[in-house]
């Protein structure tokens, strides 16, 4: 669903790192931040041509220059290969992390991110958010415990075995309370998987796709637009598991490549869409129809104006 609003902190205008950038870079930052298609985890598709068209005096080169400046200042992460852009501060500034519902949705959307660079940056942002959220609670618990636990055993208790045992029991008891309190803080903070904790899931996914990867590579070599290979491989594997054969998919790819010959690459389906759940590949199981050559147009001979005048009009009747 397209977004209708974007939340941002006005304190950004007092951030020396942000104000040190050019006006063009700042504009592109807000352009990305306010895109209706930006996801809850702050990822938006890399479409420089469409962004350049949003201002009369902006070119694609201007957009790429501004993105490079933003990336140098760590405000965005751009992956041209997977056509993904991450606005790093989106999770913190848009309020996504404040409610469990939006937080869970954002974490689920991370699974749809293809770029390894973007996923690593998201991992860093999530770790930062979790530390900022738990630190105030841990500090409050530590302050309360430090008020109760003495730094050293009072002099009046020294030299007495009973006093030593009392001091040890008090210290251990309070430290145990401290430990339980810290554990309760962690319990109040739901354990959400970060990108790093999802590594095992990705490894399982790679193991799942491995049996079909050789067949996929054979078909992929003929595909007319070879970008976002991992997403295409996942879609290909899903189709194989639902009963599609390697021969069918390979044949569909070859027919699709023949049908797309001479087309603008930007108008050709991504592999993940072609092999996707809509099964667009089934439209190309048969070879594309060959276009017959245009029929020759035979011009009637020019019989001259004298012949046209000598012929009576069909509607003219001869007088009896």
- Domain assignments of the chain as residue spans, ordered by start: 10-122, 124-196, 198-284
pLDDT in the model for residue 254: 92
Task: Please tell me the predicted confidence (pLDDT) of residue 77.
Answer: 93
The reported pLDDT for the residue numbered 182 is 47
77 bridge partner residues: 86
Q: What is the pLDDT of residue 14?
A: 87
Cβ(118)–Cβ(86) under 8 Å? yes
Query: What was the pLDDT predicted at 200?
Result: 58
pLDDT at 46: 93
Query: How much is the CA Rg of the chain, to the nearest whole Å?
Result: 34
Q: Look up the CATH number of domain 10-122.
A: 1.10.10
Q: b/e map of 1-33 (b: 16 or more CB within 10 Å)?
A: eeeeebeeeeebeeeeebeebeebbbbbbebbb
Q: How far apart are the first and last CA of the chain?
A: 83
Count the Cβ atoms, other than its own, within 10 Å of residue 91: 22
Query: What is the bridge-based pairing of β-strands 43-45 and 76-79?
Result: unpaired
The pLDDT of residue 220 is: 92
Task: Give 2-44 pLDDT, tens digit per residue.
Answer: 667 777 778 888 888 889 999 999 999 989 988 888 887 789 8
Neighbouring CB atoms inside 10 A of 227's CB total 16
The predicted structure's pLDDT at residue 144: 52
Give me the pLDDT at residue 292, please: 62
Nearest in space to 271 (alpha carbons), one of 236, 244, 245, 221: 236
3-state secondary structure of 76: strand
What pTM was computed for the model? 0.41
Structure confidence at residue 47 (pLDDT): 93
Q: How many residues does the chain have?
A: 320
Q: What parts of the chain have a pLDDT lower than 70?
A: 1-3, 94, 97, 133-209, 291-320
């Amino acid at each position: 669903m397209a977004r209708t609003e974007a939340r941002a902190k006005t304190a950004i205008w007092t951030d020396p790192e942000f104000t040190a950038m050019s006006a063009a870079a700042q504009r592109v930052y807000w352009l990305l931040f306010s895109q209706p298609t930006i996801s809850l985890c702050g990822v938006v598709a890399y479409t420089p041509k469409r962004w350049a068209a949003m201002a009369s005096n902006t070119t694609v080169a201007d957009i790429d220059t501004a993105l490079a400046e933003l990336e140098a200042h760590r405000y965005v992460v751009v992956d041209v290969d997977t056509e993904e852009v991450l606005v790093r501060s989106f999770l913190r500034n848009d309020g996504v992390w404040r409610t469990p519902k939006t937080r869970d949705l954002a974490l689920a959307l991370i699974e749809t991110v293809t770029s390894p660079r973007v996923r690593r940056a998201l991992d860093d942002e999530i770790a930062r958010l979790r530390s900022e959220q738990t630190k105030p609670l841990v500090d409050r618990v530590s302050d309360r415990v430090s008020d109760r636990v003495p730094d050293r055993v009072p002099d009046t208790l020294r030299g007495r075995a009973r006093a030593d045992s009392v001091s040890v029991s008090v210290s251990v008891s309070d430290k145990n309370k401290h430990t339980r309190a810290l554990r309760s803080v962690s319990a109040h903070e739901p354990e959400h998987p970060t990108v790093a904790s999802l590594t095992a899931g990705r490894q399982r996914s790679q193991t799942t796709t491995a049996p079909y990867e050789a067949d996929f590579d054979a078909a992929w070599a003929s595909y007319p637009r070879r970008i976002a290979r991992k997403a295409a491989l996942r879609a290909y594997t899903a189709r194989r598991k639902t009963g599609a054969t390697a021969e069918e998919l390979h044949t569909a790819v070859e027919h699709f490549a023949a049908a797309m010959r001479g087309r603008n690459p930007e108008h050709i389906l991504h592999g993940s869409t072609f092999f996707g759940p809509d099964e667009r590949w089934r439209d190309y199981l048969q070879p594309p129809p060959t276009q017959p050559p245009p029929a020759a147009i035979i011009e009637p001979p020019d019989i001259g104006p004298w012949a046209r005048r000598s012929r009576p009009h069909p509607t003219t009747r001869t007088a009896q």
